[in-house]
Structure 1
Amino acid sequence: MADSWASSEGTRKSMLANKRRDTSTEIAVRRELHARGLRYRVDFAPLPGLRRRADVVFTRARVAVFIDGCFWHGCPIHGTAPKRNADYWGPKLAANVARDQDTDRRLADAGWRVLRFWEHEAPSAVADRAEHAVRRR
């Protein structure tokens, strides 16, 4: 495990097992939206040339929905600052937050409505807000 970013082999395996898409929260939200008759793209880049993907995208309404993991995106309630390997994780997690803010700005400048939710939020509440934004546009 020489030159690995992980502080231990167990940490490395745990982090590699994290999903980039199709988390249980995302699936629950998508199921709720689909049951309401809404159709969308999954894991889709709203802007050509911008290598950032939203979890749920309503292309016609120009609404991009992100469901952020508490650890990875700095949730004020559940986000944690790792004590081991802090020199790596501190800047890494701060860069994630900065990239999220840049993504929001770029999408808004291009006329998109950006909705961000935390993974711990109730799927029905997320679907309510997303449906409202889509139907308003």
Structure 2
Amino acid sequence: MVGKWVSTSEGRHLAKRRKTNTSPEVELRKAVHAAGGRFRLHPRLAKGCTPDFVLPSRRLAVFVDGCFWHGCPEHGRRTPWTGPNAELWADKMRRNTERDHRANALAEEQGWRVMRVWECSVRADPAGVAARILT
């Protein structure tokens, strides 16, 4: 059994983080809309599957994954966790990955195509990511 979280000064800022309508998500939605895409926000496709937005006419569910929380291969954590919550952090990141795979499977079972984009890609070129989504 994994232990209990220990409050640390390094992790205090994480309690107030946004879960929806993050800046990369909003930036991408603006680019998709400017390119002619029309979407619905945060629809619940199935229990445990709520994409950031969907394009109903294309049956496409889009998830904007944060580099830190979802383990971006370029910007994700590369060193082992340290500190009093190390085991808890490692477990949390593992669960995030499992949840992503489960959400993909649930959306696909409902007949949706799934596209996951990294936060860093959106920040670097929102119009380019929007173009990939709309093709």
TM-score with structure 2 length normalisation?
0.84
Partner residue in 2 for 1:33: 32
**Percentage of identical aligned residues:** 37
- 1:42 is aligned to 41
> Aligned residue pairs: how many?
127
CA contact (8 A) 1:46 1:57 kept: no
Task: Return the structure number with greater relative CO, CA threshold 8 A, min gap 6.
Answer: 2
Q: Could you tell me which residue of structure 2 aligns to residue 96 of structure 1? A: 96
Asked if structure 2 preserves the Cα contact closer than 8 Å seen for 1:73 and 1:93, the reply is yes
**Equivalents in 1 of 2:132, 2:65: separation in Å?**
15
1:69 aligned onto 2:66: yes
How far apart are 1:109 and its partner, in Å? 2.4
Aligned-residue RMSD, C-alpha: 1.8
Task: Report the 3-state secondary structure (helix = DSSP H, G, I; strand = E; otherwise coil) of the residue aligned with 2:28.
Answer: helix
Q: Which amino acid aligns with 1:27?
A: V
Counterparts of 2:51 and 2:106 in 1: how far apart (Å)?
Answer: 13
Question: Are residue 57 (structure 1) and residue 54 (structure 2) matched?
Answer: yes
TM-score, normalised relative to structure 1: 0.83
CA deviation profile, 1:14-60 (whole Å, cap 9, x unmatched)? 1112110111111111111111222111122223xx13211111123
- CA shift digits 1:106-134 (9 cap, x unpaired): 212222100001100021222011111xx
| Partner SS state of residue 120, structure 1 | helix
